[in-house]
C-alpha cells in the first residue's frame, strides 16, 4: 500500500506535526513546511469552534 503525505499527516498528533515542522524547516522542504502549517492551523481553527 502506498501512503501520501496527507495520509501520514492525518494520523499525526499536533505535537508530531510541530516536530515534523521543525525538522522540515531545518531541511528547507517548503512544500512540506506549508502543508504542516496548513494542518496545524486547520486543527487550531477546528478546536476553536
The rounded distance, in Å, linking the Cα atoms of 20 and 24 is 6
Question: Number of structural domains, the chain?
Answer: 1
**Residues in the chain, pLDDT under 50:** none
Total-model pTM: 0.53
Q: Are 13 and 5 in contact (CB under 8 A)?
A: no
Q: Show the domain range for 24.
A: 5-48
Residue 22: predicted pLDDT = 86
Query: Cell for 18?
Result: 510541530
Amino acid at each position: 500500500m502506498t501512503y501520501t503525505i496527507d495520509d501520514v499527516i492525518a494520523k499525526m498528533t499536533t505535537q508530531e506535526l510541530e516536530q515534523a515542522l521543525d525538522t522540515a524547516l531545518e531541511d528547507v522542504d517548503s512544500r512540506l513546511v506549508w502543508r504542516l502549517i496548513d494542518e496545524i492551523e486547520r486543527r487550531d481553527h477546528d478546536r476553536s469552534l
